[in-house]
Amino acid sequence: MRIQFRTYLFALALSTLSSLHAQQLPLAVRGVMDLRNYNFKADGPVELRGEYEFYWNQMLNPAIEGDTGEMIYTTVPDSWFKLRKEYPEIERYGFATYRLMVLLPDKVDEVTFKIEDVYSASGYFINGTAIDYLGFPGVNKFQTVIKYGRPLVTGSVTSQEVELLIRVANFDNRLSGIVGGIMVGLPEQMQEQRQKDLFRGHFLIGAFLIIGIYFLGLYLIRSEQYRLYFSIICFLMAVRVVMILDLPILHAINLNGLTTARLDYLNIYFFAPFFAAMIRSLFPIEFPKLIYRLILWISLVFIAIVVVSPISLFSYTIPWFFGFFIAESMVFVYVILLAWIRGRSHAPSFTLGMMILFVGTLNDMLNEIDVIDTAYIVQYTMFIYLLVYAYIFADKSNLLQKKTEKLAEEVSQVKNNLEDLVEERTTELHSMSKQLERQKKKLETTNRNLVEAMNARNRLFAIIGHDVRAPIGYTRQALEMIIENPDITDDERNELLKMIASSSEVTYNLLDNLLVWGRTQTGKLKAMPVRFKLKELIDESLELVNVGLKDKKLKVEVYVSEEHYLDADRDQLYIVIRNLLNNAMKFTPQNGWIYISSKKQKGEVVISIRDTGIGIPESMIKKILETESHVTTDGTRGEKGSGLGLKICNEIIQTNNGWIRIESESGTGTTILLGIKAGRKPG
């Protein structure tokens, strides 16, 4: 069993590392990256790797044609200091401009770049327009403001030929120039990839923090030193993930470039003493005391250099530290193997975990000192190492359980002549078993209710975080553009005001739907029937969506009788009609038609809202009204939806003792039929 488990972990580690291997990418040749035959949608983003034009000690001005000087070609990603062998005038510290002409496929009007490790200040231009700055690249140390990050920058393009200009200045760091890669892709692709990175990062951070807090709690209960050191390592790994993935929390703190660099180096250097302390607390006999003290003192020297010295000094310590850490890791392997040979508890498992972690650490070290060009993987190998640790604790619990069972057997043999007592105890246990069974059923019921409540809460948070936040963000952007640009034309101002009005309407409708949906989830949605005229309700609803109808040039024909009255909750029916009209408007292309009619039959008024829109596939019609499913579809102009509209309509109609039916086919439009109890005409 143990061998199978270790084999599984090792296979998991190999699959993780292989999945991170970089794919073969096109190369830039003589300053030109030809992507005209590249399919972004099929193949995804691509790295701008290869030969760039390089202008040493020149800050090219993209606004001035012909503003170029002496040019050479250099490989990106790489440090410009490596050019010194062929060009002695190029120094480690200085400034330069990189230039690359990118030939894009047809119908690409916007691209997004992902910047990786440009030291130590940089500015980015597309076709002469500045799109982003990391710090400020100056022509000397006093003009340069350093900043580190891995941002996404987006720029619009108007032709297939895109000139990418990058100004870089470095007067502090050991590494110079574009050391990391530059990825380019469609904005939605890059944002999706960024979201995946953020999801993985938050998952790993959560795992490290939870495990760290758990082991810290165990240490406070039982003061075993290795638990404390392991919890600190988990916290350091959480910080490491933040640094590697450049998570938003790092920008929220708003650290300057020097502080960010110190934090990055200190985070790496603190691993050495705490790993040594943990291994020695586990195997104190096998770990030589003198070597342990030497490791601590050397680690403190590295940490002190980072704390007190400028970046121009401590950035040179990283290769030396990696050499030291590899030597330290060899000591760890020796100690654990020696413990294995001596038969120490779980030494084989510790060996496996340490080897996996060593592979990840070695990869990141070589990547950090620019020996290899791979992805950072130590956070993943650390997570696998935590799984090994979890196995060790599970196995310890299993051994304890076996000892307990053996002790129970011995006690049973001693008391085999106490039959009456055994019978009494058996009866008590049987009674307790019944009580536990009843409690188990109660807990299962409670658990189901909690799961349903948590699902509803998570769905509510997702809608608020995405669907409510997006239109509010559009409104904020539009208001900022109006405030910051007082000289914009009246047409542009009107377009922005229309955007604000549209976003506000979307937000209002969504919040209204959320309130109703919240009542349905808590069982508090009650109908208060009144008698009202259907035609007046239809007219009010059309008045609310009139702006949207005009914007899409939709024609509406109403065939609703003045004689039709309803006995229902008027406010709730208003929400239903408004949602159905919004859906018809959203999924009907420009210049389409919407037909609204009513007829009376069998004591009911049947309301029909039909559009000439894109229709609904048959496979989705049933899912739309199901409470458990969640289906959203973009409108004909990319309008976003929460997936609540028709579900809320269904809940309201059922609350008012009515029915709803959807008739639709893809490409032929949709008809929504509502049946509500008819009311008598007043008088």
pLDDT in tens, 568-618: 988 889 888 988 998 888 888 988 999 999 999 988 999 999 999 888 887
Which of 159, 185, 211 lies at the terminal end of a domain, its last residue?
A: 185
Domain boundary among 367, 399, 431: 399
Which pLDDT score is estimated for 506? 63
- Domain of 608 in residue numbering reads as 526-679
Q: Are residues 199 and 172 in the same domain?
A: no
Same domain, 87 and 125: yes
Residues of the chain above pLDDT 90, percent: 22
Confidence class for position 16, pLDDT limits 50, 70, 90: very low
Nearest-10 crossing angle of helices 618-625, 645-655: 60
Mean pLDDT across 191-197: 86
Q: Would you state the pLDDT for residue 464? A: 57
The predicted pLDDT at position 138 comes to 92
Residue 79 domain-assigned (yes or no): yes
User: In this structure, is residue 201 part of a structural domain?
Assistant: yes
Three-class DSSP category at 137? coil
User: Could you report the per-residue pLDDT of 455-471, keeping only the tens digit for each?
Assistant: 656 655 555 554 565 56
Do 236 and 123 share a structural domain?
no
Q: Assign 3-class secondary structure to 38-83.
A: CCHHHHCCEECEEEEEEEECCCCCCCCCCCCCCCEEEEECCCHHHH
**Residue 397, phi then psi, degrees to nearest 5:** -65, -35
pLDDT in tens, 398-439: 665 677 778 777 777 766 666 666 677 777 888 888 888 888
| Sign of the C-alpha dihedral computed for residues 326, 275, 237 and 176 taken in this order | negative
Please give the share of the chain, as a percent, with pLDDT higher than 70.
Answer: 77
* Within a domain: 449: no
Residues 137 and 276 in one domain: no
Q: Which pLDDT score, from 0 to 100, does residue 643 have? A: 56
Where does the pLDDT of residue 52 fall: very low under 50, low under 70, confident under 90, or very high at 90 and above?
Answer: very high
CATH for 284: 1.20.1070
**Residue 502: inside a domain:** no
Contact 147, 135 (CB under 8 A): yes
- Can you give the pLDDT at residue 295? 93
> Euclidean distance between the first and final Cα of the chain, in Å?
84
* Segment of 213-217, 304-308, 321-325 carrying the highest mean pLDDT: 304-308
Q: In whole angstroms, what is the distance from residue 369 CA to residue 309 CA?
A: 20
Distance, CA of 348 to CA of 331 (rounded, Å): 16
SS3 content of the chain, % helix, strand, coil (to 5): 55, 20, 30
Which of these three, 126, 153, 185, is where a domain ends? Answer: 185
- DSSP-H helix ranges across 464-545: 469-484, 490-522, 534-544
Residue 640 inside a domain? The answer is: yes
The count of other CB atoms within 10 Å of the CB of residue 659 is 13
Does residue 458 lie within any of the structural domains? Answer: no
Q: What is the pLDDT of residue 2?
A: 37
- Please indicate, yes or no, whether residues 392 and 243 belong to a single structural domain of this protein: yes
DSSP string computed for 318-364 = HHHHHHHHHHHHHHHHHHHHHHHHTT-TTHHHHHHHHHHHHHHHHHH
Together in a domain, 667 and 610 = yes
624 and 530 belong to one structural domain? yes
Mention every residue, 6+ apart, whose C-beta is less than 8 A from residue 296: 273, 276, 277
Beta bridge partners of 545: none
43 and 100 in a single domain? The answer is yes
Task: Evaluate whether 564 touches 605 at the Cβ level (below 8 Å).
Answer: yes
> By mean pLDDT, which of 310-319, 421-430, 560-569 is the weakest?
421-430
Establish if 437 belongs to a structural domain.
Answer: no
204, pLDDT greater than 60? yes
Whole-angstrom distance, CA of residue 248 vs CA of residue 124:
21
Question: What does the pLDDT read at residue 368?
Answer: 60
Q: Note whether 169 and 220 are same-domain residues.
A: no
| CA dist., res. 312 & res. 163, Å (int) | 32
CATH of the domain at 85: 2.60.120.260
User: What phi and psi, each to the nearest 5 degrees, are found at residue 270?
Assistant: -70, -15
Count CA atoms within 13 Å of residue 268 on its CB side. 26
Binned at pLDDT 50, 70 and 90, residue 303 comes out as very high
> Is residue 592 helix, strand or coil?
coil
Mean pLDDT confidence for 216-229: 82
Q: For residue 49, what are the CA distances in angstroms to 27, 34, 76, 163, 496?
A: 5, 11, 6, 15, 40
Element (H, E) at 178: strand 177-178
Q: Is residue 604 part of a domain?
A: yes
Mean pLDDT along residues 611-630: 75
- pLDDT for 485: 81
Instruction: Output the domain CATH number for residue 548.
Output: 3.30.565.10
What one-letter code names the amino acid at 314? F
Does residue 250 sit in the same domain as residue 179? Answer: no
Lowest model confidence (mean pLDDT) among 92-106, 357-371, 577-591: 357-371
CA gap 128, 16 in Å, rounded: 41
- Quick one: average pLDDT of 257-279? 88
Where residue 13 falls among pLDDT bands split at 50, 70, 90?
A: very low
- The pLDDT value given to residue 255: 74
Domain count, the chain: 3
pLDDT at 166 over 70: yes
158 and 42 assigned to the same domain? yes
**Same domain? 665 vs 582:** yes
pLDDT on residue 21? 42
